Structure 1
Amino acid sequence: MSTPQSRPTPVPAAPDGDQAGRSWVSRQARRAVRPFWVVPALWSVGAIGLGLLVPRLDATGLADLLPFLFPGDVEGARSVLSSIAGAMITVTGLVFSNTMVVLQLASSQFSPRVLQTFLQDRVTQHTLGVFTATFVYALTVLRSLADAGDDPVPQLAVTLAFALVVAAVAMFLLFINHITASVGISNILHRSARETRDLLQRGRGARREMPESRPEMPDLGHQHVVLARVSGYLDALDVDQLCARAEQHGVRLEMLHPLGTFLVESRPLAVVHGARPGEVDWDRVLRRHVDLASERSLQQDIAFGLRRLVDIAERALSPGINDPTTAVQVVDQLHDLLHRLAVEPDPWPVHVDGEGTPRLVTRETTFEQLLDLAVDEIAHWGHDSLQVPRRLRAMLDDLLVDATPEHRTALQAKQSQLAALDTAG
């Protein structure tokens, strides 16, 4: 059970101060801001605060020091704010209902998994945030006008409502340009590949710290099996904290599954070698430092990046779409990613402490498995095309030039597989 598998992509370290996915606090923060509604909700909360604060500033005489403020009376201010609130909520509903239709069509044409990238897009989230903030701010200031009585008009507050409308129009224009560019297939492919490349780059730091040969891992005695607390995908590991806890208690942790694996509740997740009964609640430790998510993400899972690209190619090669050129564009991006993996040997997925003692063993996808993922399904569905087999063969020929000796065997086997598929076709 303690013999690890080799892998091309270790659990990513985050150099240059980027600790995303490696500390519990940062992982929880990223998880908290990941849902689509969080950024618009923060904008709305800020708008409520401004709507309560700015009318009070008018009473201090600050408005007398500023030019170009709203010159109307209370009734005029009510009319303006009412118009802004009604217009903004109407435009918000119209724009985003049509946008969701566009995104649904894009996801049905390319892959359902690309919809996640649009919903996580910050331009989209901030655009909705500005729209909702303008609406909420106008309503909040209207509330202060209802209680104003004979108080002077909150000129600064109404002028700020005008400024928010201008900002909303600017964000609307930016959003239209952004969303129309984002649904283009070239941009979708480039974004998916860029996110995967960034993950590979972040993983280079951890890669250098891992041994290229199998280290000695002595038998530590008693083994405690940790079970999955819920069903979900193994999405991220807090490597630093897991290693620190293992070193603190003189044990070795061994993950039993690679990232991206779907685990059923109460099935084995990890083994703690050398655990002394009753000393540490290892189930609680693993719950804190291992993420089981409802869907896969690119926090640390390299294979998911390739999976998204392959899905787009498969959809393009389906009889209903029949777009081999898109499949070839996918292969171009896969070529770049596989080249980055092929030029480095597979280290042993063992994380050691400062004294070189193994403290964490992970299960990772090998280069050969990633090659199978990138090639097999596209080759199967595209073997009747003129473009796809030719591009796959060219990719494998080029990868062989710079690949390490251990990876050349897998590449040569894949070439033979493609040749057999062409002959059978």
Structure 2
Amino acid sequence: MSDRGSRPPRALSPLREHLRETFWFAPAMTLVVACVLWFAASAVDEQIVSYLREEQAYEEIQDLVKVAEDTKQIVVTVSSAMMTFIGVVFSISLVAVQMASGQLTPRVVRIFVRSRISKLTLSVFLATFVFSLLVLSSYESETDPRRVTSLPFVQSVLTALLVGLSLLLFIAYVSSTLRLMQIGPVLDHITRDTFRVLGRMPAGRPGGEPLPDETGRILYEGRAGVLRDVNVARLVRAARRQGVVLRLVPRLGDFVVPGTPVLAVHGGAAPGRHALRYTVSVGVERTLHQDLAFGLRQLSDIALRALSAATNDPTTAVQCLDRIVQFLAAAVRLPLGTVHHRDRSGAVRLVQEVPSWEDLVDLGFEEVRRCAADVPQVSRRLLAGIDDLLPLAGPDRRGPLVRHRTLLVQAVEHAVPDADERGFSLLPDRQGIG
């Protein structure tokens, strides 16, 4: 058990996280910015021409006309070339996503969807294309400096700057995509996201007062799907106003269907429906916004795919075990199981179940252990990982580790009849076989 303490719960921003899971929002906003930028640049160009006409500087206007005529062909070339660049970006993205999904796990596709450099590159490319089209509409057929009303001088300069930015982003995008097609950076990305979730876990002292009697339950109304995140601050605020304690029935990552209980009420009447709006978010797949176990799920999936007969890549499985052990070593001393969220006065208002230590150990080791009996590289790394975790774990948390070690030894003894080979497979090694 762990208590959040007297510090008020931090307001979550699920909308921001959900927008990061989409690939349309950033390009759409960039197109709006490109249009606004063109309007501003066009107004500046008109002011420049108006000022020169007032000063009767017709020679300067004539020079600007010549510059505009020279840059018009460049803008035309840019507008046509950007569509080719956009096609290249899409092609690279689709190939990278297909390779990652086939070789690792479909769950890692979210890394590419959330990639900032991919969204930024596509957004700037689209903005450059749209901006160049708008600039073309600013060119006038009139060449008499006395009749010219606008010249796209500032617009042409901005187009050149956007082209330069697009080239730099294209280089960064290719470099980033090539890194994400390698197993090491992918595992590192998953691990860092998982540690962010672990860092947001409420830390506090163990223990807690018993909950009041359950007085009601709130049923879920909405589409069926996976519970992705919970607005803790809003739930705590609703429970405080009602003077009750709410308990989240499903855990993050559970699949919920309409009509099943989502909240249990303790100590009074349930808050109104309006107070509980937008407190839980359900989607078609899990996310790493608040789901502590989803990172381990991805690492375990990649390891299982690597150990399959079709792939047969135990080195990748060893790399996954490295990250699993890293995460478990960080979580071994943290309070897990049940979290009490408190309001400003220190009263418990929301109780939430999170994965326990045993749940995390089972998720990280169970399935990999079952496939590691006849793969000495993986069995040796798994034994070394468990041996590294045992000194870090307290007496109350060594049980799951000892159980997995015992089961692994038994499985290897059953799968490897030769004594010498069995002894080799049961020798702990942090590199597997090096």
Give the counterpart of 1:135 among 118, 121, 129: 129
1:370 deviates by: 1.1
Give the distance between the partners of 2:72 and 2:229, measured in 1 at CA: 51
Aligned pairs for 1:202-351 within 5 A:
202-203=200-201, 206-208=202-204, 211-219=205-213, 222-276=215-269, 280-282=271-273, 284-346=274-336, 348-351=338-341
| Native 8 Å contact 2:337 2:355 kept in 1 | no
The code of the aligned residue for 1:85 comes to S
- TM superposition score normalised by structure 2: 0.85
Deviation at 1:402, TM superposition (A): 1.1
1:300 match: secondary structure: coil
Query: Contact 1:212 / 1:348 at 8 angstroms: preserved in 2?
Result: no
Match of 2:367 among 348, 370, 377: 377
Are the counterparts in 2 of residues 345 and 406 from structure 1 also a CA contact under 8 Å?
Answer: no
Q: Is the 8 A contact 2:21 2:110 kept in 1?
A: no
Q: Tell me which residue corresponds to 2:421.
A: none
How far apart are the structure 2 equivalents of 1:119 and 1:322? 28
| Identity fraction in percent | 32
CA distance in 2: counterparts of 1:47 and 1:57, whole angstroms: 15
The answer as to whether partners of 1:134 and 1:165 remain within 8 angstroms in 2 is yes
Structure 1 unmatched runs, 5+: 1-5
- CA gap of 1:113–1:70, structure 2 versus 1, over 3 A, is farther
Secondary structure in 2 aligned to 1:349?
A: strand
**How far apart are 1:234 and its partner, in Å?**
1.1
CA positional deviation for 1:173? 1.1
Moved more, 372-381 or 326-335: 372-381
Contact 2:26 2:119 in 1 (8 A): yes
Cα deviation code 1:321-380 (max 9, x no counterpart): 111001001000000100111123446422234555432111221110111110011112
- Between structure 1 and structure 2, the one with the greater Rg is 2
For residue 126 of structure 2, give the secondary structure of its aligned residue in structure 1.
helix
* Helix, strand or coil at the partner of 1:257: coil
Tell me what 2:173 maps to: 175
CA deviations on 1:246-267 (whole Å, 9 max, x unpaired) are: 1221111111111111111222
Deviation at 1:228, TM superposition (A): 4.0
- Deviation by residue 1:160-190 (Cα, 9 ceiling, x = unmatched): 1111111111111111111112211110011
Distance 2:96 2:106 in 1: 13
Q: Which deviations, in whole Å up to 9, do the C-alpha atoms of 1:79-119 show, x marking residues without a partner?
A: 22221111001111123223311221122101111111111
SS at match of 1:233: strand
CA distance in 1, matches of 2:185, 2:65: 47
Q: Is the 8 A contact 1:247 1:359 kept in 2?
A: yes
User: Which amino acid is 2:341 matched to?
Assistant: H
Q: Which residue of 2 aligns with 1:3?
A: none
The 8 Å contact of residues 338 and 354 in structure 2, kept in 1 or not, is answered as: no
1:55-204 mapped onto 2 (5 Å cutoff): 55-61=42-48, 72=66, 75-145=69-139, 150-203=148-201
Q: Any conservation in 2 of the 1:233–1:293 contact (CA below 8 Å)?
A: yes
How far, CA to CA, are the matches of 1:122 and 1:424 in structure 2?
A: 48
CA displacement at 1:30 relative to structure 2: 3.2
Aligned length: 401
Deviation at 1:311, TM superposition (A): 0.9
- C-alpha change, 1:111 and 1:147, in structure 2 (3 Å) is farther
| Pair 1:37-2:24 in alignment | yes
CA contact (8 A) 1:77 1:153 kept: no
Matched residue SS, 1:190: helix
How far apart, in 2, do the equivalents of 1:147 and 1:234 lie? 60
Instruction: Decide whether the 8 Å contact of 1:214 with 1:348 is kept in 2.
Output: no
Structure 2: which amino acid aligns with 1:200? Answer: L
- Partner Cα separation in structure 2 for residue 128 and residue 70 of structure 1: 32
Contact 2:306 2:312 in 1 (8 A): yes
SS at match of 1:223: strand
**5+ residue gaps, structure 2:** 53-59, 416-434
2:383 is aligned with 1:393: yes
